[in-house]
Each structure stands twice: as C-alpha cells, then as structure tokens.
Amino acid sequence: MAMDRRKQRILEAVVALYGADGEPVGSGLLANYFDMALSSATLRNEMAALTKLGLLEQPHTSAGRVPSAQGYRYYLDHLLGAPGITELPKEDREHIDELFAAMDAEPEKLAQSAARALAEITGLAAAVSTPQSDDLCIAHFEVVQVGRYTAAVLAVTSAGGVRTRVARVADGFSRADAQTLATLLNCNLTFVVPEDVTETLSAELLLAAGERLAPVVRAAEALVRTTPRVYFEGAQHLAQMTDVRKNLGLLLEIFSDSEAARTLIEPHGNKLTATLGEDVRPEMPGVCVVSKRYLAGGGLTGTVALIGSNRMHFQQLIPILEYFATKLGQQMSGKKQEEQT
C-alpha cells in the first residue's frame, strides 16, 4: 500500500491535532480540520489504511487514532526534508538577536546562555555543545596563585575559549612557582592534541616540575584532554510532560555525562535531525530530540538541540531552532550581527 499525498496530509493532521491536546483523533475532528473537504467515511478508510501501514495506532477499539513511533518517524523525515517549514516572524528574530547581543562572548558561557534562552523561549529542554574540531588544542597557559596552597590553571584554546582547573599544592604555592610552571606548560603542552600527551611526555613534565608541583601539571594535562562540554537547561519543563516524565531520570543521567549527551544530540551532517526515543538504547518512548549543527568558524562545529515530547509543535519550533543555530554560529565565530530580511 503506497503513501499518496492524501494519506500524508491526514498523517500530518493527526500529528498536529494529537500534539495540540493529547487526545486520540477521530474522523469527525479530522473532517472539521479539513473544513469538510473530505467525508468522515473517507477519513475513516484512510485512517484504517494508515493503521495497517503501522503509521497510526488505535489505543482503544472505540477511540480515534494516534501516531505510532513509525508514524512520527515518517512525519519527521518528510517534514524535516522540506526546507523552510515556516518563516520565523521578524519580531521573533529581533527578540533572539537581542538575547544574543547580551550574552558573554566566551564560548562556554555563550553555550550555556544560549541553551538557557532556547529553553525559556520554547518551553522545552535545550542542549548546546561547545565548538570542537579535530585539531582544537590549547594555545596558551596561565598559572595563577589563588591561595597559599592553591593554583588555578587557565588554558586558552585555539578557538578562543577558556578552560580552567584548580590544583592544591600541599606544601604551598608561590608566584614564582606559577611563573615557572607557566613557562614549562607553554613550552610542552600548547598546540598538541590529547593523543600527544603520552606517558613519556607526562613523566618528563612531572620530573621537570618536581613532585611538589605535580598536581598542577596533572591539572594542565587534564585541560588538554578535555572534550567538548554539553550544557543542558530546562529540565523543569520535561517534568511537566506526562509522556516524557517517566524517562526524566534517564535523560538527566545522560546529560550529566557530556560524551553521552553529545552522542544523543549529534545531528546527521549539517541537516536538521530528529531522534525519537524509540531509536536509541535504552529506549525512551515518547521522547524526541531535534538537533542542528552550528558552524563556529575555523572548522569548529557544535550542536544545538531541543529535547521534549514527540508531540512537540514542530512547525513552530524548527524555525526557532534553525535561527538559534545560525545566531550561535555567528556569535561563536565573532561575526557581527547580520541584518535579517
């Protein structure tokens, strides 16, 4: 049985109506939706055909239909494959522009602020990963005495981001120690990738620094090995979604681990990507993640994503997500705000 345009329209209508109130959709409601252009009998036959195709489900014998996981998958593949679902209104673009103009330009702070703003605007959870590339590395180290026994290691990445780590030195730490270590780190740990920090190099650095200052060297090495971070905001919105709440604990566990979070939100290439909870392991039925890659300049990329129910209002949310990805990329790369038409 083939999917013709009428069946596609009916599936799209069921997704939209079910997303609006969470109730199974009957033929009468669909007839009103189509302004009586299709009869209830025709709609019942088409809905029965969509059910046989596995795209709709009937929760109860006398109830209407709801989209199945396969139905959402078909709908999302069809919807996301069409460029420009709707145009984001000018006032919404201007509001987002104002939000970004007030954000800190430092990459990690910017990523966190963008995730928080996106969650607030959409009423969903949002996640943003910091920009990364295969050749991202530390360009410069600073070591600062922040207490008699404490040192702060600051690392500036080749993308302009700042990473920090604090180390405690049991026998005391001085400004002279800070200067000595900064020189050592800048001579040996800048412009190297994590794989370059071998056991041999680590042993040489520890020997040069001495046992007393070894904690500071280890802190610097940890900064070199740091992977991109994922900032997750808006968990409180998920707690209010009945079809997501049962998976909230698992989602929070995933987003507490940046590597697991990156795997979940990673889009396919540069295309907008929707991942259903049924597509991942362990499964999280009812959950949907829509993600988009942003380009931060210099070969750096990151991801911005919305996390919510598969009943989310895709038509309204996708243009917002795409605009956020564009603005985030511009801000991360230091480009000036472009005039939107």
The pLDDT of 173-193, averaged and rounded, is: 96
Claim to verify: residue 96 and residue 110 sit in the same structural domain: yes
Domain boundary among 205, 224, 243: 224
User: Does the structure show a pLDDT above 80 at 8?
Assistant: yes
Residue 82 has pLDDT above 60, yes or no: no
Tokens 């069409």, residue located? 82
Residues 36 and 103 in one domain: no
Stated as kind and residue range, the H or E segment containing 165 is strand 162-168
Average of per-residue pLDDT across 103-132: 94
Any idea which residue has 């280890």 for tokens? 218
Identify the top-confidence range among 67-76, 113-122, 187-196: 113-122
pLDDT of 84: 47
Average pLDDT, the chain: 89
> Can you tell me the mean pLDDT for 44-61?
89
The arithmetic mean of pLDDT across residues 63-78, rounded, is 86
User: Are 321 and 250 part of one and the same domain?
Assistant: yes
Are 328 and 245 found together in one domain?
A: yes
Q: Does pTM top 0.85 for this prediction?
A: no
Model confidence band, residue 62 (pLDDT cutoffs 50, 70, 90): low
If one compares 251 and 131, the residue with the highest pLDDT of the two is: 251
CB 139 within 8 A of CB 173: no
Quick one: pLDDT band at residue 152, thresholds 50, 70, 90? very high
Residue 237 shares a structural domain with residue 195: no
Please give the pLDDT value at position 288.
95
Query: Do 168 and 218 fall into the same domain?
Result: yes
- DSSP element (H, E) containing 185: helix 175-188
**Rounded distance between C-alpha atoms, residue 322 and residue 327, angstroms:** 9
What CA–CA distance (Å, rounded) separates 165 from 167? 7
Percent of the chain with pLDDT strictly greater than 90: 60
Could you say which DSSP state residue 288 is in?
E
pLDDT at 325 over 80: yes
Neighbours of 234 (CB within 10 A): 22
Strands 150-157 and 273-276: unpaired
Identify the pLDDT of residue 306.
98
Q: Is residue 197 part of a domain?
A: yes
Is pLDDT above 60 for 336?
no
Indicate if the pLDDT at residue 210 is higher than 60: yes
Of the candidates 105, 130, 127, 107, which has an alpha carbon nearest to the alpha carbon of residue 117?
A: 127
Note whether 317 and 306 are within 8 A (CB).
yes
Task: With respect to residue 38, please indicate whether it lies within any of the assigned structural domains.
Answer: yes
Residue 159: inside a domain: yes
Instruction: Tell me whether residue 341 is in a domain.
Output: no
Calculate what percentage of the chain has a pLDDT beyond 70.
Answer: 95
Same domain flag for 184 and 324: no
CATH of the domain at 110: 3.30.450.40
316 with 261, same domain: the answer is yes
Domain boundary among 224, 251, 276: 224
Predicted pLDDT at 85: 54
Averaged pLDDT, 183-198 = 94
Q: State pLDDT tens for residues 240-287.
A: 998 899 999 999 999 999 889 999 999 987 888 999 999 898 999 999
Give a yes or no: residue 290 inside a domain: yes
pLDDT at residue 86 in the model = 62
pLDDT tens per residue, range 12-27: 889 888 888 788 998 8
Of 224, 177, 178, 169, the closest CA to residue 202 belongs to 224
Mean pLDDT of 305-333: 92
CB 106 within 8 A of CB 272: no
Whether residues 275 and 311 fall in one domain: yes
CB 258 within 8 A of CB 228: yes
Q: Are 217 and 143 in contact (CB under 8 A)?
A: no
pLDDT given at position 339? 41
pLDDT for residue 338: 45
pLDDT digits (tens, 9 = 90+) for 273-285: 999 999 898 999 9
Range of the domain at 176: 138-224
Q: Is residue 339, in this structure, part of any structural domain at all?
A: no
User: Is a pLDDT exceeding 90 seen at residue 3?
Assistant: no
For residues 101 and 125, membership in a common domain is answered with yes
DSSP state of 170: T
CATH of the domain at 184: 3.30.390
By CB atoms closer than 10 A (0-12, 13-18, 19+), residue 175 is exposed
b/e string for 253-270 if b means 16 or more Cβ within 10 A? ebbeebeebbebbebeee
Tally Cβ neighbours within 10 Å of residue 199: 7
Identify whether residues 146 and 25 lie together within a single domain: no
Give yes or no: residues 236 and 329 share one domain. Answer: yes
Question: Has residue 338 been placed in a domain?
Answer: no
Residue 106 and residue 82 in contact, taking contact as beta carbons nearer than 8 Å = no
CATH assignment of the domain containing 66? 1.10.10.10
pLDDT above 50: residue 136: yes
Q: How many domains does the chain have?
A: 3
- Asked if residue 287 is part of any domain, the answer here is yes
What's the pLDDT score for residue 34?
A: 86
pLDDT at 118: 98
